[in-house]
Structure 1
Amino acid sequence: MLTVDFDRLGLRAGERVLDMGCGAGRHAFEMFRRGADVVAFDQDGDELAGVLELFGAMRVAGEVPAGAEADIKQGDALAMPFPDAEFDRVVAAEVLEHIPDDTAAIAELVRVLRPGGTIAVTVPRWLPEKVCWALSDAYHEVEGGHVRIYTGDELVGKLEAAGLELLGRHHAHALHAPYWWLKCAVGVDNDQHPLVKGYHRLLVWDIMKRPRLTRVAERVLNPLVGKSLVVYLRKPDAS
């Protein structure tokens, strides 16, 4: 399930790209499939080991074009081990809401992005996230959990203050917002609740089959209750 639109990001084969806070690697895998030179970066070594294994499996299965490269790197988002202007494109999906010093993390993202390069940043959208926080403290009061809820203007303002230029924004995953509201209402760890299990089956079916009905429904609902906010920005060319 992808949150970032890589066509809007401007990703092209052969470009060097960073997936910061890659988690299980969903965006890194797609960029690898598109022929990029990918670095999947995270602080969780166990997650990264799984990502590296799947990179290898993708290559063996012939899922990536010749010349595409992919690797992992473990480290701290506040002090990434990369030179300035290292990457043509950067993705930071659903990660800034976990970082107490988001200003420092944004500065690092800007530092490693080349002048003229683009970045996609996604965070939970204010309204769906606010509902989750209201329904359940356990949803966010966990180690490594969400430490803030962004408004769109707040997020864009912080990114622009770091020197980036806004290119556009959209919302994604409207069908997933009710799932998280249900989980928060019945208990975030209560995956066996009939409503939660039923809705989860629906989401899995939708992801696997992508029927026209749910695709249309999500496009209509995304502006209203899309679970994620996605913003695209550009680092100005060096003067």
Structure 2
Amino acid sequence: MLNRLKNFLTTPAAPAAKESTGSAAEPHVDPYMLGLKDAALSGWFDQQNGELYRGFPVGPEDTVLDVGCGNGGNVHFCAMRGARIIVADIDAEKIEATRQRLEGSAARSVECLVTDSAPLPIPDASVSRVVSTEVIEHVDDPQAFLAELVRVGQPGALYLLSAPHPSSEELQRGFAADDYFRKPNHVRVIGEQQFRDWVTEAGLEVVSHGQYGFYWSLWMLFFWEAGVGFENPDHPLLHNWTRTWDVLLDSPRGAAIKEVLDQVVAKSQVIVARKP
């Protein structure tokens, strides 16, 4: 179930079925596209500055490793910047989906690895950018996982690491599906200080530590209540919430309100770090 959720959050969805409820005057808002809009306001996918995330620039001279790449949303941005791409995931189907997604891109090269990352089949100090988003909450040994990411980074390499924020995880308790907090899904809830400690103990310097995603935290909560499937999340709760958030972001103080709410309940916490 959680794999389907991650795919929904990171892969463009097919056109949604026509709503069976609601006024014909209310336009459908694609939750994925709205999620991209929300993420951009939080510093993701900055084409102008060439940053995958605020403070994480990617250029054609970089070699980017994405561990737990899913269907390749993050590395697609990096490929468009002309970087060399290495993707690693335990799921062969996701690796193939990413390979197809990057076909014909501006990437210098694309290498695809099906691996559990213990260890990574990559030489020491061989990459300049390491990305691993929403992965560490799944692994059996977080410290060993981070040590392996640090091993393959060059001196001065930048790291973009994210994990579910505890505020959103606690919000889901009692409402999420039974397997949400069970292996192979979220086997731990990671506090902010714990996340920072793991990263610094692995030998990295934390450059920034932020959070975002109030929109998705509430969307997930309403999803559990709606009782629909990820393949076609068609329910008034989800449609109405998506429309509300869309209207909010377009309002004069929408971005400021979003920023405040992201500090209250965030889907994700994001660390940018540097290898000395």
**TM-based fold match above 0.5:** yes
**Aligned counterpart, 1:165:** 205
Identity %: 26
1:13 and 2:53 equivalent? no
1:150 and 2:197 equivalent? no
Q: 1:88-108: CA deviations, max 9, x gaps?
A: 010110000011211111110
Q: 1:202 to 1:98 in 2, by over 3 A?
A: farther
Query: Aligned to 2:148, what secondary structure does the other structure show?
Result: helix
Alpha-carbon separation, structure 2, partners of 1:195 and 1:233 = 38
Q: Which of 101, 114, 130 in structure 1 is aligned with 2:154?
A: 114
Structure 1 stretches of 4+ moved >6 Å: none
Deviation at 1:82, TM superposition (A): 0.3
1:33 and 2:80 equivalent? yes
**Aligned counterpart, 2:236:** 194
Q: 1:32 to 1:215 in 2, by over 3 A?
A: farther
Deviation at 1:211, TM superposition (A): 5.6
1:85 and 2:125 equivalent? yes
Query: Aligned to 1:96, what secondary structure does the other structure show?
Result: coil
> Which residue identity is paired with 1:45?
A
Q: 1:144 to 1:210 in 2, by over 3 A?
A: farther
**Contact 1:122 1:230 (8 Å CA) reproduced:** yes
Q: Which of 217, 220, 223 in structure 2 is aligned with 1:177?
A: 217
Q: 1:59-111: CA deviations, max 9, x gaps?
A: 3xxxx3xx632232111122110011111010110000011211111110111
Task: Using structure 1 for the length normalisation, give the TM-score.
Answer: 0.84
> Which residue identity is paired with 2:259?
R
> Which residue identity is paired with 2:196?
V
| Matches for 1:113-132 after TM superposition, within 5 Å | 113-132=153-172
**Aligned counterpart, 2:94:** 47
Q: 1:223 to 1:51 in 2, by over 3 A?
A: same
Q: 1:195 to 1:210 in 2, by over 3 A?
A: closer
Query: Aligned to 2:137, what secondary structure does the other structure show?
Result: helix
Q: 1:163 to 1:18 in 2, by over 3 A?
A: same
Query: Aligned to 2:173, what secondary structure does the other structure show?
Result: helix
Q: 1:86 to 1:11 in 2, by over 3 A?
A: same
Query: Aligned to 2:219, what secondary structure does the other structure show?
Result: helix
**Contact 1:125 1:229 (8 Å CA) reproduced:** yes
Q: Which of 60, 70, 88 in structure 2 is aligned with 1:23?
A: 70
Deviation at 1:215, TM superposition (A): 4.3
Q: 1:198-231: CA deviations, max 9, x gaps?
A: 43x549x95xx99643544433322222211001
**Contact 1:133 1:139 (8 Å CA) reproduced:** no
Alpha-carbon separation, structure 1, partners of 2:257 and 2:204 = 33
Q: 1:34 to 1:6 in 2, by over 3 A?
A: farther
- Select between 181-190 and 130-139 the one with higher mean Cα deviation: 181-190
Deviation at 1:50, TM superposition (A): 1.0
Query: Aligned to 1:175, what secondary structure does the other structure show?
Result: helix
Deviation at 1:183, TM superposition (A): 2.1
Deviation at 1:38, TM superposition (A): 1.1
**Contact 2:167 2:266 (8 Å CA) reproduced:** no
Query: Aligned to 1:170, what secondary structure does the other structure show?
Result: strand
Deviation at 1:170, TM superposition (A): 1.1
**Contact 1:14 1:68 (8 Å CA) reproduced:** no
Q: Which runs of 5+ in 1 are unaligned?
A: none
Query: Aligned to 2:85, what secondary structure does the other structure show?
Result: strand
**Contact 2:167 2:264 (8 Å CA) reproduced:** no
> Which residue identity is paired with 1:149?
V
Alpha-carbon separation, structure 2, partners of 1:183 and 1:215 = 24
Query: Aligned to 1:178, what secondary structure does the other structure show?
Result: helix
Q: Which runs of 5+ in 2 are unaligned?
A: 1-35, 45-51
Give the root-mean-square deviation of aligned CA atoms: 2.6
